[in-house]
C-alpha cells in the first residue's frame, strides 16, 4: 500500500472516534508501560535520570501509528540526521544548527571547534576562581533573549544554595533592571559579561555601556579590564573595546535560544562552577544519544511532539501549560516560551508555503503549588482544554521537614489525576468535566545534569514538532519588523499611524 499524504493522515486523525483517557486506561492494562519511559545517564555518583510519563494524554496505539506515518512522510529520520550531522537545516539563513555539537554530537570539525572554544572558556573561568583577575565577587551578565534566558534559568536552578560568584542576569533595557543589579554589587569586585551573538543588540549594548560607566564612576581604574564578551561576532567585541584575551567566541551556527551550551553559559560556569557546567552538558548529551538512537514512538522527544501536534491541530488547543513543582525551575516556563514560540511560531513552511494547520501553541505556566491557587480553576473547569506538563523531582531541594516535599509531590500527582478523572459534582458549578490531558516529567533529582537533560529534551521536542509541521525552527524573522520600526522612531521618522503618533507625542518623544 502506498504511503498516505500528510493531509490524509490528518483527515483521519481528526475523524477518529474520540475516547477519554480514562477509557484508554480501562482498555489497555499495559498503558503505563507503553507510555512512560526513562532516560538515564552516568554511574555511581553521577547517575541520574528522568521519567517521562505521557500516559495521561490521549495518545494510543492507533494515534501513535498515525503519527509515526506522519513522521515518515515528513522525513523525520533524514531531518534528524541532517540536524545531528551539522548539515544546513536552517535553510532560510543557509546554515547548520549546531547546539548538539557543543555537547559532543555533530560534524567532527564542529565538535572539535566547540571543544577548543570550551577549553578556552574553562581557562578563563578557572583564572577568575583562582583570583588571577583580582577579587571577583559579582558578575553582571548583560544579554537578552537567548543570551539571557538560559543563563538566568541555570543560575536560578543551580546556585540557590551556594554560588561561587554572585551572578546578576540583566536583560531589559528598562534601567530599573540594571539599577537593581548595581544596588546588589560593589563595582570594585564586579566583572561584566556582555552576551550577544551579534554584538549589536540595542538593549545589550546600551546596558553594557551603562555598566562600564558605573564601574568607572565606582573607582575602577581600568573598567575594560573587567569585561568578558560572549559572542559569535568576536571582531565586533574587540571593536567595542573588549580585550581579545577575554573574548569567548561561539560558532555562528549556534542559535541564540540554543546557546546555553556555548560561551553564553559562561555565567553558569562562573556562578555554579566548571564541573556543574560540564555536568549540564553531560545530561544534555544523554538526551542527544537517546534522540539520535531511538526510533518512532519510543523516541521520547518525538513522542512528546506527537502529543503536542495532536492537541494543537487535532484538538485545536491554542495553549500548552508547564508547571514546575520545584521552586528551582521557576524560570523554566520563561525559557520554554522563547524556545518553543520563537522556534515554531511560524506561518510558512521551510520552503515558503503556507503551513497546513496551526503551528506552535502559546506556551505558558508557573510554579506548583502556587499556580493551583491562581490559574488551575481554568484548567479544571474553564472552556479551554489546556494540555499540561508537570515537572517534579523525587529528591527534595530543601532540608526542612520532609512534609514539605511530600505535600509538593502529592499535590503535583493529584492535579494530573484530577484533571483526568473529573468529578460529577452536586451541581453544574461543582462539576469537573475531566478528560483533561497532562504529562509528567519526574526527575530523580534536580541537579545540573538533570537541568541539561530537561533543556535538551525540550530542544529536541521543539525540533521534532517543527519537522512534523514542515517548518524551519531555527530562524526568527518575526522579531525584526518591530525592531526596525523602533530604530526608525529613534531616527526621527514621524509618519506612523495616528495612534502611534499620539502615543509618541503623549510621552514627549515627538513634536
Q: Which residues are catalytic?
A: 342, 373, 483
**If binding is defined by CB under 6 A, does position 476 make contact with ligand F6P?**
yes
Q: CB of 100: closest distance to ligand F6P in angstroms?
A: 18
CA distances from 496 to 202, 460, 493, 500, 502 (A): 21, 41, 8, 6, 10
Q: Print the binding letters for residues 238-277 with ligand F6P: x by CB under 6 A, - otherwise.
A: ------------------xx--------------------
Considering beta carbons, is residue 86 or 151 the nearer one to ligand F6P? 151
Minimum separation from the CB atom of position 342 to ligand F6P (A): 6
Scan residues 122-181 and list those touching ligand F6P (CB under 6 A): 144-147
55 vs 343 by CB, closer to ligand F6P: 343
DSSP secondary structure letters along 429-454: GG-B-----EEEEEES--SHHHHHHH
In this structure, what DSSP letter does residue 59 have?
-
Residue 464's contacts (CB-CB under 8 Å, 6 or more residues apart) are 71, 76, 80, 299, 301, 302, 304, 305
DSSP state of 48: E
Q: How far is the CB of 117 from ligand F6P (least distance, A)?
A: 16
User: In the range 342-361, which residues lie near ligand F6P by CB under 6 A?
Assistant: 342
Q: How far is the CB of 502 from ligand F6P (least distance, A)?
A: 27
196 near ligand F6P, judged by CB under 6 A: yes
Coil, strand, or helix at residue 52? strand
Q: What is the CA radius of gyration of the chain?
A: 24
**Which listed residue (31, 197, 303, 346) binds ligand F6P by CB under 6 A?**
197
* Nearer to ligand F6P (CB atom), residue 343 or residue 393: 343
Is 462 a binder of ligand F6P (CB under 6 A)? no
- Is residue 479 a contact point for ligand F6P (CB under 6 A)? yes
- Backbone angles phi and psi of 249, in degrees to 5: -80, 160
SS3 39: strand
User: Nearest approach, Cβ of 152 to ligand F6P (angstroms)?
Assistant: 12
Nearest residue to 308 (alpha-carbon basis) of 128, 462, 482: 462
Query: With CB under 6 A as the contact rule, which of the stretches 70-78, 193-201, 398-406, 424-432 interacts with ligand F6P?
Result: 193-201
Host H or E run for residue 86? none
Find the shortest distance in angstroms from Cβ 199 to ligand F6P. Answer: 7
User: Count of residues binding ligand F6P (CB under 6 A)?
Assistant: 14
Q: How far apart are CA 144 and CA 173, in angstroms?
A: 9
The answer to whether residue 314 forms part of the interface with ligand F6P (CB under 6 A) is: no
Which residues are paired to 388 by β-bridges?
Answer: 321, 438
Strand ranges inside 257-324, DSSP E:
319-324
Binding site for ligand F6P (CB under 6 A): 144-147, 196-198, 201, 204, 256-257, 342, 476, 479
Amino acid at each position: 500500500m502506498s504511503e498516505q499524504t500528510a493531509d490524509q493522515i490528518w483527515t483521519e486523525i481528526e475523524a477518529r472516534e474520540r475516547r477519554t483517557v480514562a477509557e484508554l486506561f480501562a482498555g489497555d492494562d499495559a498503558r503505563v508501560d507503553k507510555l512512560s519511559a526513562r532516560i538515564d545517564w552516568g554511574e555511581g555518583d553521577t547517575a541520574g535520570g528522568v521519567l517521562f510519563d505521557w500516559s495521561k494524554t490521549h495518545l494510543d496505539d492507533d494515534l501513535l501509528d498515525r503519527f509515526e506515518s506522519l513522521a515518515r512522510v515528513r522525513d523525520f529520520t533524514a531531518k534528524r540526521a541532517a540536524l545531528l550531522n551539522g548539515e544546513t537545516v536552517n535553510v532560510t539563513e543557509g546554515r547548520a544548527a549546531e547546539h548538539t555539537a557543543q555537547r559532543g554530537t555533530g560534524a567532527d570539525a564542529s565538535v572539535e571547534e566547540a571543544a577548543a572554544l570550551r577549553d578556552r572558556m574553562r581557562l578563563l573561568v578557572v583564572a577568575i576562581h583562582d583570583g588571577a583577575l583580582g577579587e571577583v565577587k559579582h558578575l553582571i551578565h548583560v544579554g537578552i533573549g537567548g543570551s539571557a534566558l538560559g543563563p538566568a534559568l541555570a543560575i536560578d536552578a543551580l546556585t540557590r544554595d551556594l554560588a561561587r560568584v554572585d551572578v546578576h542576569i540583566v536583560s531589559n533595557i528598562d534601567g530599573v533592571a540594571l539599577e537593581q543589579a548595581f544596588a546588589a554589587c560593589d563595582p570594585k569586585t564586579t566583572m561584566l559579561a556582555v552576551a550577544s551573538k551579534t554584538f549589536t543588540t540595542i538593549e545589550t549594548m546600551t546596558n553594557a555601556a551603562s555598566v562600564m560607566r558605573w564601574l568607572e564612576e565606582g573607582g575602577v581604574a581600568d573598567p575594560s579590564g573587567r569585561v568578558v564578551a560572549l559572542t559569535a561576532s568576536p571582531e565586533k567585541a574587540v571593536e567595542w573595546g573588549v580585550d581579545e584575551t577575554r573574548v569567548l567566541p561561539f560558532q555562528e551556527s549556534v542559535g541564540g535560544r540554543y546557546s546555553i551550551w556555548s560561551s553564553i553559559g559562561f555565567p553558569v560556569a562562573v556562578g555554579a562552577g566548571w564541573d556543574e557546567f560540564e555536568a549540564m552538558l553531560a545530561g544534555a548529551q544523554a538526551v542527544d544519544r537517546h534522540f539520535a538512537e531511538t526510533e518512532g514512538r519510543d523516541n521520547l522527544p518525538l513522542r512528546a511532539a506527537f502529543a503536542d501536534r495532536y492537541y494543537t491541530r487535532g484538538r485545536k488547543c491554542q495553549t500548552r501549560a508547564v508547571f514546575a513543582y520545584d521552586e528551582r525551575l521557576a524560570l523554566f516556563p520563561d525559557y520554554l516560551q522563547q524556545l518553543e514560540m520563537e522556534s515554531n511560531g511560524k506561518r510558512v513552511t521551510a520552503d515558503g508555503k503556507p503551513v497546513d494547520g496551526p503551528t506552535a501553541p502559546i506556551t505558558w505556566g508557573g510554579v506548583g503549588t502556587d499556580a493551583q491557587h491562581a490559574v488551575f480553576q481554568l484548567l479544571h473547569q474553564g472552556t479551554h482544554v489546556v494540555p499540561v506538563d508537570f515537572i517534579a523531582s523525587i529528591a527534595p531541594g530543601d532540608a526542612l521537614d520532609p512534609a514539605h516535599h511530600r505535600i509538593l509531590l502529592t499535590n503535583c500527582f493529584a492535579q494530573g489525576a484530577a484533571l483526568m478523572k473529573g468529578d460529577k459534582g452536586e451541581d453544574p458549578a461543582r462539576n469537573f468535566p475531566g478528560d483533561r490531558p497532562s504529562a509528567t516529567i519526574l526527575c530523580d533529582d534536580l541537579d545540573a545534569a538533570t537541568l541539561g537533560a530537561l533543556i535538551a529534551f525540550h530542544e529536541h521536542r521543539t525540533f521534532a514538532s517543527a519537522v512534523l509541521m514542515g517548518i524551519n525552527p531555527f530562524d526568527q524573522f518575526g522579531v525584526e519588523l518591530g525592531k526596525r520600526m523602533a530604530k526608525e522612531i529613534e531616527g526621527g521618522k514621524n509618519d506612523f499611524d495616528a495612534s502611534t503618533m499620539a502615543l509618541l507625542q503623549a510621552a514627549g518623544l515627538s513634536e
